[in-house]
Amino acid sequence: MANQIYIQYQMVNYIDIYLDRDEFADRLGGSIPKGSIFIIEGEDGAGKSIISQRLSYGSLLNKNKVTYISSELSVVDFVKQMDSLGYDIKDYLLSQDLLFISTLYMFGKIKEKENLIFELTKEKSRKIFDSDLIILDSLSYPLINGLDKMGSVRLLEFLNKVKNMEKTIIITYSPNDINEFFVKNIRRIADIYFDLKFSSIDEGSGLKMVNIRRFRYARGVYNNVIPFRVEPNIGLIVEISSYV
């Protein structure tokens, strides 16, 4: 039995996310496992995008390919946002190690109850999944538009297919924006589950909290709670002090 467990552990591959200027990777055990469904859940402003952007930049720096799909930013705005954090991604865009897709200009172009996310399941979207890391930030209109129970099941099945391709897919969302059936079930199947909250220690500090509800196949020891803030030209900063 011990040998079987060891063999299974050895089969897990990882995406390195290390940056020499912050401790975020260290707090997560050094990397994130490939072949994972990774959800980042939280209210608006809780830090879902900054976590996604930090993970994407760390992945790129460590020679991984990334697809980033945004429902909030254009390409120009994304580059400006990353630059403001000290995350220079222009060369990665030019080399196509980073594929950025904006759904921002698709507002009003889809029919009622049509879900743009299912365009990703088609053959024409295959290039998106050539990357090691795929980020959907965030799962809201027009990526999803009135997702019902049947659509939820279809989407969950699709996410499992991506996982089985040895890809890691990160999905950010606010639980208030999606039906309860989908939220309940994606929490159930997620390999990594981050729940982001605003800090109650000092409401004016800008401090936010990552609460790690689940982290399967972590490479090393990780923290269950990671307090962080965002600094211009520096990016995500892990708070050294302990918060309970």
Q: Calculate mean pLDDT across residues 55-82.
A: 96
- Mean pLDDT on 14-41: 96
Reply yes or no on whether the pLDDT at 158 is more than 50: yes
Token reading at 118: 């299912």
pLDDT 10s digits, 10-26:
589 999 999 988 899 99
Q: Mean pLDDT over all residues of the chain? A: 88
User: What confidence category does residue 203 fall into, taking pLDDT thresholds of 50, 70 and 90?
Assistant: low
| Residue 202 pLDDT | 58
Residue 170, class by beta-carbon neighbours within 10 Å (0-12 exposed, 13-18 middle, 19+ buried)?
A: buried
Residue 31 is predicted with a pLDDT of 97
Across the range 181-204, mean pLDDT stands at: 89
The per-residue pLDDT for range 100-150, each reduced to its tens digit, is 999 877 644 555 556 778 887 788 788 999 999 999 999 987 778 778 899
Contact 93, 241 (CB under 8 A): no
Q: Does the pLDDT of residue 8 top 80, yes or no?
A: no
Q: How far apart are CA 16 and CA 215, in angstroms?
A: 15
- pLDDT computed for residue 146 by the predictor: 78
pLDDT in tens, 70-88: 999 999 999 999 999 999 9
Max intra-chain CA distance, the chain: 56
Taking the C-alpha atoms of 41, 42, 47 and 51 in order, what is their torsion angle to the nearest 10 degrees? -10
Give the list of residues 6+ apart from residue 197 with CB closer than 8 angstroms, or none: 42, 46, 208, 209, 211
Asked if pLDDT for residue 186 goes beyond 80, the answer is yes
* Radius of gyration from C-alpha coordinates of the chain: 18
What domains appear along the chain, each with residue ranges and CATH number? 14-238 (3.40.50.300)
The Cα-based distances of 134 to 19, 20, 25, 66, 130 in angstroms read: 19, 23, 18, 6, 9
Confidence at residue 113, expressed as pLDDT on a 0 to 100 scale: 55
Full strand arrangement of the beta sheet holding 37-41 = 98-102, 66-70, 133-137, 168-173, 37-41, 192-198, 208-215, 225-231, 235-238
pLDDT band at 206 (very low <50, low <70, confident <90, very high): confident
Alpha helices in 122-230 (DSSP H): 149-164, 180-189
| Long-range residue pairs from 102-108, CB within 8 A, at least 24 positions apart, any chain | 102/69, 102/70, 102/73, 102/74, 102/75, 102/78, 103/69, 103/70, 103/71, 103/142, 103/143, 104/70, 104/71, 104/72, 104/73, 104/74, 105/74, 106/142, 107/141, 107/142
Would you place residue 241 in the very low, low, confident or very high pLDDT band (cuts 50, 70, 90)? low
pTM: 0.90
Residue 191 pLDDT > 80: yes
